[in-house]
Amino acid sequence: MAAGKGTRMKSRHPKVLHRLAGRSLLAHVLATTAALPPHSSWVVTGHGADAVESAIAGSGALPVRQVPQRGTGHAVQQVVPHLGAEGTTLILNGDVPLIAATTARALADACGGERLALLTIVLPDATGYGRIVREAGSADGAVLGIVEHKDASPAQRQIREVYTGMMAAPTALLKRWVMALKDDNAQREFYLTDIVAMAVAEGVPVVASQASDETEVLGVNSPLQLADLERRFQRRQADALLEAGVRLADPARFDLRGTLAHGTDVDIDVGCVFEGNVTLGNDVQIGAHCVLRDVVIGDGTVVHPFSHLDGARVGAGALIGPYARLRPGAELADEVHIGNFVEVKNSTLAKGAKANHLAYLGDATVGERVNYGAGSITANYDGANKHRTVIEADVHIGSNCVLIAPVTIGEGGTVGGGSTVNKSTPAGQLTVARGKQVSIAGWKRPVKPPKT
């Protein structure tokens, strides 16, 4: 169910599209359902339906609109025409993102196509939650109903087992029950929880499937709750990495918004963000406050603080940063050095090449052991098309040079500092392309007229 407005989010965007660990809340839920046995999935949309339906395109889930939104039971009513005649229907919430596939599967198994199964959790403090009321004198007996906190007696408020808002029901019975729901309440809405009383009245067993982890059943209704769930999730991921041998300087200051594969003896300093699919080899060190997205880094490479790597591949024994930026298409071989305030885009650097200071390499092929000077750039864009610069092995590019592509700098050549090169250069020679230095005697700098 993903039709709610989420008023407390104070946002113009649908609540289920707010992001947790780099993915929307709804995307997390759909990832869980994708791990379940063969099934059909429907997403009930309502508020911001166009945006939600666009977001789930290609997921395999089919949208069903709820217009207007008249409660949880009304949401399920919209799906009834699409349900089969038998089997189990699993109902999850689009704003409860961290439900585990094992928990969802256990809930469906508890139903077994014959029972109404409620997903519950035991909380130290159940204030505000609907309590699970069981047969008298039984802590695990048949469920008799759900009592909302405001309606609970003092004795019922001592119950710590609560309903999470998710259930599994025999499909044939669910279809009949939800179509029989009444809206005779103050909100004039159809409540899905009313089917519990219907099941009890018909003698259909109502059972509880308990989740073991509070985090996986927490919903998001406000930015505060979203931030709390983000930190819970990130700490869980950090703990898993620590258990696997990764050394995190501070697991509370770590964000993984995708997947992180790693070798042994990996060190990650504080404030780092990993997005997409990141692979770190053995003995890799990541300095503080780096952002890595869809990158592969070889053994023994050091990424110094405040570096951004996006869509890059880095070989073994390289040094990156600090304050370096590797953009998509950057491919660095072993022992390459990329220093502070150097940007590399769609370029390959062969073994041992160095660009240590304040430089730009775009659409370039750089040979082995090239030394690329501070302040130098490849002028790769003519206003309409990109062109390639080739710098062959053992070339030395002096400081503050402009290489106007397309151009090739021949093997072993040197380009003198301050040169603007727009023609290919021969191998092994010094190339200087700059204006002649002139000193003008008697020249005076202009001065401002005195103030009156």
Residue 435 corresponds to which tokens in the numbers above?
Answer: 């204006």
The torsion angles phi and psi of 343, rounded to 5 degrees, stand at -120, 135
φ, ψ (nearest 5 deg) of residue 88? -120, 135
The tokens for 246 are: 């990764």
| Residue indicated by tokens 């000077």 | 373
Residue 309, both tokens: 């790597």
Helix (H, G, I), strand (E, B) or coil at 446: coil
Q: How far apart are CA 175 and CA 83, in angstroms?
A: 8
Name 302's Cβ contacts closer than 8 Å, sequence gap at least 6: 284, 285, 287, 318, 319, 320
Smallest Cα–Cα separation from 195: which of 169, 229, 163, 219?
A: 169
- Please state, in angstroms and rounded to a whole number, the distance separating the CA atoms of residues 204 and 114: 8
**Whole-angstrom Cα distance, residue 345 to residue 326?**
6
Residue with tokens 């989740």: 211
In the DSSP assignment, the letter for residue 448 is: P
CB 239 within 8 A of CB 259: no
Q: Which residue has the tokens 């070798």?
A: 263
Kindly name the residue from 13, 289, 357, 396 that is annotated as catalytic. Answer: 357
Those residues with Cβ within 8 angstroms of residue 368's Cβ, 6 or more apart along the chain or in another chain = 333, 350, 351, 352, 353, 393, 394
How many residues in total does the chain contain? 452
Q: Is 357 among the residues known to form the active site?
A: yes
In the beta sheet, which residues pair with residue 292?
274, 309
Q: Which residues are catalytic?
A: 357
